[in-house]
Structure 1
Amino acid sequence: MVEPFSSAEMDRRWRLARDLMRHYELVGLLIHGNSGLHRHNQANVFWLADYMDWHHCYLFAPLDETVEPVLWVGLSNHVASARAVSSVRRVEWGGYHPAACIVEHLRRFGLVKGRLGLVGINAKFGIGMPYLHYLHLRENIPDLELVDVTAPFIRLRTVKSEEEIARMRRAAELTDRSIYALWEKIRPGMPDYALVEIVESAYRGLGGSPHVTYIRTMPMDQPNGCAPSQNPTGRVLERGDVVLTEISASYGGYSGQIHRPLFVGADPSPEWQRLFDVALEAYRRMTSALRPGACERDAIRAASIIGEAGYTIYDDLLHGFGIDITPPLIDRSCARYWPWDEGRPAPEGERFERNMAIVLQPNPCTPNEQMGLQVGALTLITDHGAVSLHQVPFEPLIVRV
């Protein structure tokens, strides 16, 4: 079992949450989570309750410290486990109609007027609490204004504490083990789903849990994709293949993330080597540019070598990380600013702060999106640039068979 966060760490989080409530004049926060992406859609609940539900849950976090916070878990047989791990003392089953439990609790404490902050799962995609639950609250407490504060709440999580960084370092170590295991164990004749087993068994016995295991295998001389695949196809590995990877092992809710291509029984061809060299140079330029006070424009400029080499990108250039994806996030639309031209620079965008955890993942690909790779890692923003939390070498990984 992972050691729980200290009381000082949890107090820090609740102070930030209550500062947000005061800023938006809220009586409290109602935070929803579900089990998507190996429970990492629980990120907002987890951050305040130190609990990740296997199904769905709600956390009520009041502004008034004399009002008791409540965690409603999704399934009745999960209550005991939730009570054993959560920092919230009152844990109950939400029943088959959790919105009714929420309404009853708010009425009990007279919280029927004012503004209640709703925290969903993902502000970028507009994913909030279930619609029927929302309707029940609105219809049964009509004088309570429901205000979405998902985006500002997520921003509370972007700068990591020392305890969070310690968990991410351990998660990065476990993620590294999976790449080393692939490098050592994969062989021609294996189906791609066997590679998933190699990845996840490398850290499961050490307390890690899966977050992302994306793998694509294809012949170097007949490429058919530019990013790792979320679903195994059963394709059998062959000599001369390239294996594209995006892997995140989690430890105590926090994840590493690494991207490395492996080449099976052969050195990368000149075309693949050039892709790798461009990705690595973009990564190195980005790590130098990203320090406290730098902005998204600096990252886009640093990675412009990708466009200058005649490539574009398919996936995000970078994103915040830890429990789940957070701001800052630079998606593939940044390629419109390459090759770089000071006469039409990218918007400044958000600024980076010390101890933000950022996945840098330059992923050059051909314009037809049939050939590409990623070279990336979870990094920490420091005064000296973005520093990788991973130890896997930045080189093409050649599987000797």
Structure 2
Amino acid sequence: MPMMPPSELPVPRFTLAERDRRWAAVRARMAQEGVDALVCVYHTGHHNHWQADLQYLSQIGGNNVDASLVFPLQGDPTGFVINPYYEGPAARDWMSDFRPTRRAWGDLIAERVKELHLEGGTIAISGLRDHLRAPEGIVPSGTLDRIRELLPDARIVNGTWICQEPRMVKSPEEIAFLEKSVELIERSVDAMYRTARPGVRESEVYAWMLWEQVANGGDMPTLLSWLSGPWGRISQRVLQATTRVLQPGDMIFNEIECRYGGYCAQQVQPMCLGRIPDEVEEMFNWQGEAFEAVREVMRPSTTFDELIDAANIVGKKSDTYESSVTLHGRGLGEDWPLIPGRYSPEIGRMPLQERMVFIMKPTVRLKNADLRGEGIVWGDTIEVTPSGGRRLGKRPRAFLQLND
């Protein structure tokens, strides 16, 4: 029986022009660094963010599929997956050479390098070290040992930055995918507001939020972090809501992501199962001032240090509260930078570029606060434009409340 052609499956797809743009940019960087082939090794960690380079170059991905890639400076790239056709339908728009590994990753990668006559060349491995959230690297040691054993004459180098810099500035097609991601996130927000009620289990609300994403074309896995409870006694941050029963007056804080064709925007949308206390309302108003202060200066040539300084506006004007900003790149995952988590003076001096995209989420807290749940956060995914940051979200900024 003939198989349905992959082209007939309705999945998110990028154009061949987008493929050519990416491949040219990455190969230019490889040539600059004297790299003969870039290898992306399987690792589905951090909600599948750690295979971002592989998906950027191949469209291989979806629901934590294990995959690897050999991407030569010249010649056809080769994708490796566990079983035939696990690469997904979109990948076949861009590539034709896919090989099942049966989990013999190092053997198959080395075999392809030898086919390319690059066994004595320079082989860069993405994620060997200096990964955004894993500075020690994400490459499985056994696979790395096997590659070195089978390619003893190759020069193995770190390739983390070969794709990272091209990925920092998004194309119009990438921004369209991020806009779709935000659209699905806002469906999740609607589901939270529709279902979160006293007497309902948090896990039910959480499930409806994820249902909206999957039912409307979103990918799994995704991040949906959760904090809840009465103001002044908020729970720890969890990565999946528990079966705790919501109570009148509970707060819900979150980080909501959705993957669409691998692309992952984020919003932060707080909610109260009742009316928010006066203190929370005051903090939320201050938070809006910090958000706008940062958004207004998100223009090309503004430095990250200048963004950080803009976010400190509340502490400069209030004797009670202070503010700071969390900012990190949005895209396929592990998009630099991560502020404050991977801040350095070099990052601080780096200027923004048009079409960079970030989650921007200032926090306002009491000046003597210790815990994460004592702050107020609201955030949206922002595109850098000449006129300042452009919100990708459509919902008005608000602290959602249930009115009796």
TM above 0.5, yes or no, is yes
Q: Match for residue 341 of structure 1?
A: none
**CA separation of 1:182/1:84 partners in 2, compared to 1, >3 Å: closer, same or farther?**
closer
Q: Is the 8 A contact 1:300 1:346 kept in 2?
A: no
Q: Look up the equivalent residue of 2:127 and give its one-letter code.
A: G
Alignment deviations for residues 103-137 of structure 1 (CA, whole Å, 9 cap, x no partner):
12222232111311111287122323211111122
**CA separation of 1:272/1:352 partners in 2, compared to 1, >3 Å: closer, same or farther?**
same
Q: Distance in 2 between matches of 1:379 and 1:19?
A: 28
Alignment deviations for residues 49-69 of structure 1 (CA, whole Å, 9 cap, x no partner):
01115342210000123xx31
Q: Distance in 2 between matches of 1:83 and 1:331?
A: 35
Per-residue deviation at 1:327?
A: 1.5
**CA separation of 1:112/1:386 partners in 2, compared to 1, >3 Å: closer, same or farther?**
same
Q: Match for residue 192 of structure 1?
A: 202
Q: Distance in 1 between matches of 2:58 and 2:283?
A: 43
What aligned pairs does 1:373-384 form with structure 2 within 5 A after superposition?
373-384=376-387
Listed as ranges, the gaps of 5+ residues in structure 1 are: 335-344
Q: Look up the equivalent residue of 2:207 and give its one-letter code.
A: E
Q: Look up the equivalent residue of 2:215 and give its one-letter code.
A: G
1:394 aligns with 2:390: no
Q: Match for residue 338 of structure 1?
A: none
Q: Distance in 2 between matches of 1:43 and 1:346?
A: 24
Per-residue deviation at 1:317?
A: 1.1
Q: Match for residue 87 of structure 2?
A: 82
Q: Is the 8 A contact 2:12 2:90 kept in 1?
A: no
Per-residue deviation at 1:46?
A: 0.5
Q: Distance in 2 between matches of 1:161 and 1:174?
A: 20
What is the total number of aligned residue pairs between the two structures?
382
Q: Look up the equivalent residue of 2:144 and give its one-letter code.
A: Y
Q: What is the SS of the residue equivalent to 1:382? A: coil
Q: Is the 8 A contact 2:327 2:338 kept in 1?
A: yes
1:361 aligns with 2:368: no
Listed as ranges, the gaps of 5+ residues in structure 2 are: 1-9
Q: Is the 8 A contact 2:192 2:206 kept in 1?
A: no
Q: Distance in 2 between matches of 1:395 and 1:193?
A: 23
**CA separation of 1:358/1:83 partners in 2, compared to 1, >3 Å: closer, same or farther?**
closer
Among 35, 48, 65, the alignment partner of 2:57 is 48
Q: Match for residue 342 of structure 1?
A: none
Q: Distance in 2 between matches of 1:163 and 1:194?
A: 34
Q: Match for residue 215 of structure 1?
A: 226
Q: Is the 8 A contact 2:357 2:381 kept in 1?
A: yes
**CA separation of 1:346/1:363 partners in 2, compared to 1, >3 Å: closer, same or farther?**
farther
Per-residue deviation at 1:153?
A: 1.9
Q: Match for residue 6 of structure 2?
A: none
* Root mean square deviation of aligned Cα: 2.3
Q: Distance in 2 between matches of 1:144 and 1:346?
A: 32
**CA separation of 1:332/1:98 partners in 2, compared to 1, >3 Å: closer, same or farther?**
closer
Alignment deviations for residues 179-206 of structure 1 (CA, whole Å, 9 cap, x no partner):
1221122110112111211211123211
Among 113, 116, 139, the alignment partner of 2:149 is 139
Q: What is the SS of the residue equivalent to 2:309? A: helix
Q: Look up the equivalent residue of 2:200 and give its one-letter code.
A: M
Q: Look up the equivalent residue of 1:96 and give its one-letter code.
A: R
What aligned pairs does 1:182-261 form with structure 2 within 5 A after superposition?
182-210=192-220, 211-220=222-231, 222-224=232-234, 228-261=237-270
Q: Look up the equivalent residue of 2:352 and give its one-letter code.
A: F
Q: Match for residue 339 of structure 1?
A: none
Q: Is the 8 A contact 2:360 2:381 kept in 1?
A: yes
Q: Is the 8 A contact 2:304 2:351 kept in 1?
A: yes
Q: What is the SS of the residue equivalent to 1:147? A: strand
Q: Look up the equivalent residue of 2:353 and give its one-letter code.
A: E
Q: Is the 8 A contact 1:217 1:244 kept in 2?
A: yes
Alignment deviations for residues 247-300 of structure 1 (CA, whole Å, 9 cap, x no partner):
11221111221111111122x112211221222111100000110111111111
Q: Is the 8 A contact 1:191 1:234 kept in 2?
A: yes
Per-residue deviation at 1:333?
A: 8.8
Alignment deviations for residues 309-343 of structure 1 (CA, whole Å, 9 cap, x no partner):
455679x6101112213112211698xxxxxxxxx
Among 296, 311, 315, the alignment partner of 1:303 is 311
Per-residue deviation at 1:364?
A: 2.5
Q: Distance in 1 between matches of 2:375 and 2:274?
A: 19
**CA separation of 1:312/1:141 partners in 2, compared to 1, >3 Å: closer, same or farther?**
farther
Q: What is the SS of the residue equivalent to 1:82? A: coil
1:28 aligns with 2:37: yes
State the TM-score, normalized to the length of structure 1.
0.89
Which moved further from structure 2: 122-131 or 378-387? 122-131
1:165 aligns with 2:178: no
**CA separation of 1:83/1:249 partners in 2, compared to 1, >3 Å: closer, same or farther?**
closer
1:322 aligns with 2:327: no
State the TM-score, normalized to the length of structure 2.
0.88
Q: Distance in 1 between matches of 2:141 and 2:347?
A: 35
Q: Distance in 2 between matches of 1:102 and 1:346?
A: 35
Counting aligned pairs with the same residue, the percent is 25
Q: Match for residue 274 of structure 2?
A: 265
Among 103, 112, 122, the alignment partner of 2:110 is 103
Alignment deviations for residues 32-83 of structure 1 (CA, whole Å, 9 cap, x no partner):
2322344332211000001115342210000123xx311011x22xx22426
Q: Is the 8 A contact 2:228 2:251 kept in 1?
A: yes
Alignment deviations for residues 342-364 of structure 1 (CA, whole Å, 9 cap, x no partner):
xxx99843211100111101123
